[in-house]
Amino acid sequence: MSPLTDQTAARPQPAGDAAPLAGRVALVTGAGRGIGAAIAERLGRAGAAVVVNDLDGALAEATAAALRERGGEAVAVAGDVTDPEFAERFVACAISAYDRLDVIVNNAGFIWGEAIGRMSDEQWDAMLDVHLSAPFRILRAAAPEIRARVREERARGERVTRKVVNVSSVVGLDGQAGQVNYGAAKAGAIGLTKSLAKEWGRWDVNVNAVALGLIETRLTVAEQVETIALGDREVPATLPVGLAQGMADQIPLGRLGTVAEAAGAVYLLCLPESDYVTGEVLVCGGGFGG
């Protein structure tokens, strides 16, 4: 994988409507399939080079390969976002491959719910680890690089707006029975977003969140329980079978969202047109919640 040319490594300029993210480098976690893959595809189609992460290295590489086949730039980084050493490696890969860092999308996650009386400490910790601690570590790892690049850019008389989008959930805003761990973690992601927006505003970094509603993925509409690797074992990682479809009549738009629509909401917050939007939560739920 060759790095971007010196020309694209200079201050990025929108290249018309077809490539508004040309010259940008985006990091996307959990992008091997589903919502994450759709986000990576949308950012890549807009001209960004994408650093694709997934727990499953083969899936990460498949997403990256698909982007390259369409003429884009992409590199895969396999790894568990909850590994304390992952964040530094993820950020370092972006710098090594493309020598810049412009967009961070913290998307990786899964659902492991239970009524609170039967919920284990392991279930509680797992949700906070993947949905809150992992994004925190990635953003912490990115901080020195962002600060250094901003100082260099300003010394040259340039200002570059960078983007962070944390994927939250309507459950973090409105709650859901049987998901106190997931809801607490997703609410925490919103607190992280709003606080970091105030901290990183001086570096021209927009920090926003997208609170997703019911999106049609393998984790929401599976006909059987899907699992995810957690350490040396597999744990359930889906809503109860049929629950999401049964809740569809509570959505004002009358249907579940698609992964492309979820990716579109993230994309809106990565565009130059949203450069004066920060510390906000964009709800992408078809009117569900409240």
Query: Domain of 64: which CATH number?
Result: 3.40.50.720
Cα separation of the two ends of the chain: 46
Does residue 1 sit within a domain?
no
Q: Cα torsion at 277, 282, 284, 289 (round to 10°)? A: -160
Could you tell me if residue 121 is left (phi over 0), alpha (psi between -120 and 50 degrees) or otherwise beta? alpha
Does residue 2 sit within a domain?
no
Does residue 173 sit within a domain?
yes
Does residue 159 sit within a domain?
yes
Q: Is 182 a catalytic residue?
A: yes
Where the chain has pLDDT below 50, the residues are: 1-16
What's the total number of domains in the chain? 1
Does residue 12 sit within a domain?
no
Could you tell me if residue 287 is left (phi over 0), alpha (psi between -120 and 50 degrees) or otherwise beta? left
Residue 284 to residue 210: CA distance in whole angstroms: 7
Task: For 12-115, list the strands marked E by DSSP.
Answer: 25-28, 49-54, 74-78, 103-106
Residue 217 to residue 82: CA distance in whole angstroms: 22
Q: What is the pLDDT of residue 186?
A: 98
Q: What is the pLDDT of residue 17?
A: 58
Residue 174 to residue 120: CA distance in whole angstroms: 23
Does residue 280 sit within a domain?
yes
Residue 219 to residue 191: CA distance in whole angstroms: 25
Q: What is the pLDDT of residue 3?
A: 35
Q: Catalytic one among 98, 182, 267, 276?
A: 182
Residue-number span of the structural domain to which 36 is assigned: 22-284
Helix (H, G, I), strand (E, B) or coil at 246: helix
Q: What is the pLDDT of residue 217?
A: 82
Does residue 263 sit within a domain?
yes
Residue 124 to residue 116: CA distance in whole angstroms: 10
Residue 63 to residue 43: CA distance in whole angstroms: 12
Does residue 68 sit within a domain?
yes
